[in-house]
Amino acid sequence: MKRLMTSKGLFGGTTLAVLAILVLLPLVLPSATLATEIVIFAMAALACNLLLGYGGLLSFGQGLFFGAGSYLSALAMIHGGVGLVTALVIAIVAGAVIATFVGMLSIRRTGIYFVMLTLAFSQTGYFLAYTLSKWTGGDNGLLDVPRPAFALFGFDLVDLKGAHAYYVFVALIFLGVYVGARRVIDSPFGSTLVAIRENESRASAVGFDTRHFKMLAFTLSGAVTALAGALYGMLINYVPLDNIAMAMSENIVIMTVIGGTGSLLGSLLGAGTLVLMGEILSSIWPRWPLVLGVLLILIVVFLRGGLWGGVESLIGRMTRKDEA
């Protein structure tokens, strides 16, 4: 247990930083809803990071998993009358299954063709949701998505109607996902994923069937992304068609890159930056994505390792100064 608490342990180091951020977010921000939105997108970025930062797999299919999680959990609640936990489990399983399928076919190609395949799946999902308007509400979105109380074995335990209560619920799930993701990255699987990113032919030569590893990365990423999608639908009580659109995939990738690929904490930073910028700038200037574009360019060109990489080198410089 003691080992787990050290900076390299699962519950020490960056996990403590995440815990601190999660506690501070609703206190610093004007609303708990905004804080919840950040945490939900951080979850999606985290899942994208597993693919992009660790596996070196640029997937534009993340929006498909996110949207599928939103729609399927909402439909299960509306038409199936299922509770919160069941709805989330449905999203997780559906996300895992869809992502496994997408991954299975996409990883048959590499490089640009791989990216195009994920993009094609994403577009297919979008038009499927658009076409099935009887179920999804099409362009109007799926309305009246409930946010049931947290219940176990038929007993309502915690009402999540309040913005703060829901924030705590989402934040706890995020913390669980974060610890889980750290374990995944530090596992034989995670280390192999990095090896594949570094040199796939070498990874294959030492005995790994690299396709299996990439596929599992998709499965895990899809499950977490769909969970985030489901939580988002419950947050805004609505599933807009945008949830499954190309722009969603883009946003998730941008958050991951801005925050820093290959760092889990970076995903929280990236999601926070993007959501906050949207929130603050959009009220001042409707053309705010222009600023986002400039920021993205600056970070990609000048800040290798994204915002978190910048923070890390800053900390490094400061501690070195202290020693001097």
Partner 1 sequence: MSEILLETKGLALAYGGFRAVDGVDLSVKAGTIHSVIGPNGAGKTSLFHCLTGGRKPSEGSIVFAGTDITHRPAHTRVGIGMARSFQVTSLFQNLSVKENLRLAAQGCDGDKALAFWRSVAAGKAHLATADRVMERLGLTAKAETAAGDLSHGQQRVLEVGMALCGEPKLLLLDEPTSGMGIDDIPIMTHLIAELGKDHTVMLIEHNMSIVMTISDTITVMSRGRILVEGKPDAVRADERVRAAYLGEAAA
Q: In whole angstroms, give the CA distance from residue 265 to residue 318.
A: 20
Return the residues of window 83-142 that contact partner 1 according to CB under 8 A.
none
207 near partner 1, judged by CB under 8 A? yes
Burial class (CB in 10 A: 0-12, 13-18, 19+), 96: buried
Site string for partner 1, 216-245 (x = CB under 8 A): x---x-------------------------
Among 38, 46, 184, 269, binds partner 1 (CB under 8 A): 184
Residue type, 130: Y
Question: Quick check: 27 binds partner 1 (CB under 8 A)?
Answer: no
CB of 305 to partner 1, least distance (A): 13
At closest approach, how far in Å is the CB of 219 from partner 1?
10
Residue 189 as a binder of partner 1 (CB under 8 A): the answer is yes
Q: Which is nearer to partner 1, 73 or 219 (CB)?
A: 219
CB of 315 to partner 1, least distance (A): 21
* Cβ proximity to partner 1, 111 vs 188, nearer residue: 188
Taking the complex as a whole, the smallest distance from the CB of residue 192 to partner 1 amounts, in Å, to: 5
Query: Is 249 within 8 Å of 125 (Cβ atoms)?
Result: no
In the complex, what is the shortest distance from the CB of residue 200 to partner 1, in angstroms, rounded to a whole number?
10
199 lies in the site for partner 1, by CB under 8 A: yes
Q: Which span sits near partner 1 by CB under 8 A: 78-86, 131-139, 198-206, 278-286? A: 198-206
Q: ∠ CA(3), CA(9), CA(10), 5° rounding?
A: 125
Asked whether position 198 contacts partner 1 by CB under 8 A, the answer is yes
SS (H, E, C) the chain: CHHHHCCCCCCCCHHHHHHHHHHHHHHHCCCHHHHHHHHHHHHHHHHHHHHHHHCCCCCCCHHHHHHHHHHHHHHHHHHHCCCHHHHHHHHHHHHHHHHHHHHHHHCCCCHHHHHHHHHHHHHHHHHHHHHCHHHHCHHHCECCCCCCCEEECCEEEECCCCHHHHHHHHHHHHHHHHHHHHHHHCCHHHHHHHHHHHCHHHHHHCCCCHHHHHHHHHHHHHHHHHHHHHHHHHHHCCECHHHHCHHHHHHHHHHHHHHCCCCHHHHHHHHHHHHHHHHHHHHHCCCCHHHHHHHHHHHHHHCCCHHHHHHHHHHHHHHHHHHC
Instruction: Give the nearest distance from C-beta 319 to partner 1 in angstroms.
Output: 20
Shortest gap between Cβ of 2 and partner 1 (angstroms)?
14
Question: Interface with partner 1 includes 190 (CB under 8 A)?
Answer: yes
Q: Is 195 in the site for partner 1 (CB under 8 A)?
A: yes
Size of the site for partner 1 (CB under 8 A): 27
Binding of partner 1 by 209 (CB under 8 A): yes
Choose the stretch contacting partner 1; rule: CB under 8 A; options: 32-40, 51-59, 87-95, 210-218.
210-218
Q: How far is the CB of 320 from partner 1 (least distance, A)?
A: 19
User: Is residue 208 involved in binding partner 1 (CB under 8 A)?
Assistant: yes
* Positions in the binding site for partner 1 (CB under 8 A): 183-184, 186-192, 194-195, 198-199, 201-210, 212-213, 216, 220
